[in-house]
Structure 1
Amino acid sequence: MTSLYSTYNNDQLLPLLKTGDHDAFTEIYNRYWDKMLFIAGVKCGSIAIAEEIVQDIFLDIWRRHAELEITGELEAYLAVSVKYRVINAQARLKRLLEYQQFEAGRQTAQDRSTEEWLSFQELQERLSQLVNRLPEKCRITYQLSREEGLPQKEVARRLNVTEKAVEANLSRALKILKTSLKNFLSVFFYF
């Protein structure tokens, strides 16, 4: 069902919105929801967060409709609102993650017992033994990539092989280690 307001332009809808006309608000909402959601989704990378941001913007518009001053184009106003809400959401998320990492690190440091440390040492020792038993090309590739942290391109250059060869050797090494460690870890975590 098409409403009368669907024929109105933004300059006609805004004064109606200012008076608290719910149908004018609904028309603006329907007209811009998808565009704003797309912009927010692209900028923040999460559809759930994007939906929350856009919903908050529309709630804010409805709550403040009487004192709302939009100079210029409505679409530009909404795009800028999305931009700043995304920036604020990303900043809040970053602070939350930093706090969680801090707390996790603090908690881990407090809770780490001698037994956990010994178990970790045992796991590292087992991994080291398994790495030393890998076929030579796999072992060298693994050590350069995982232990020294070199990118595959640099590993390929140092070993004078293609990146595909590095990728294949690394994949093989990881598969062998995963299979070997799976048995060890099942016993390790059983106790």
Structure 2
Amino acid sequence: MHNQDEIRLQQELSQGSEKAFEEVFQVYFKVLTVFSKKFVQDLSIAEDLVQEVLLKLYENRRSIQFHTSLKAFLFQSVRNKSIDYLRSLKSKSDHHDQIKLLTVTESTDWSDTMEQTELEERISEAISALPDQCQVIFKMSRFDGKRNQEIAEELDISKRTVETQVSNALKRLRKDVLPYVNLLVIILSRLFY
């Protein structure tokens, strides 16, 4: 989302616009859920926490003060909500290690995690947009760690077809995630190399 769109949404939210809130929900719900899941390790809980943050935004939309961008505000709110949730589990011994890890991550720059989450979401969408056979071959190659010959035998296609499909997938993914090249090196090294 462009900076001007964020400013417009912030202004419309402060004027009580339900349409602006719906747009915020559509743009940010999924990526915020992925971000929260990194903390709480449970998709259902992450969805609930994000819904709570967005509900609070809606309830306070006329009086809310944005000291940063809308995006940064939402990610910070979800991060805090996720941390609060984990802290509430502190007394349970099976979550003790998670909370120790959280204490360490609290001192790190969470904006890197936010950017990583957005990039992972972008990559997931790009992979989902690949043609069916290309997607299957790419996942077998990069996620399952299968060699081209193994894939060819399993799918009853030529090894050259596998190589071409993997190459096409990589070209498409590089094009689709080009705006995030700096983060690409960090996160995708395990997928592409």
TM-score range, shorter-chain basis?
A: 0.3 to 0.5
**Structure number, greater radius of gyration:** 1
Higher-RCO chain (CA-CA 8 Å, sequence separation at least 6) = 2
- Normalised by the length of structure 1, the TM-score is 0.45
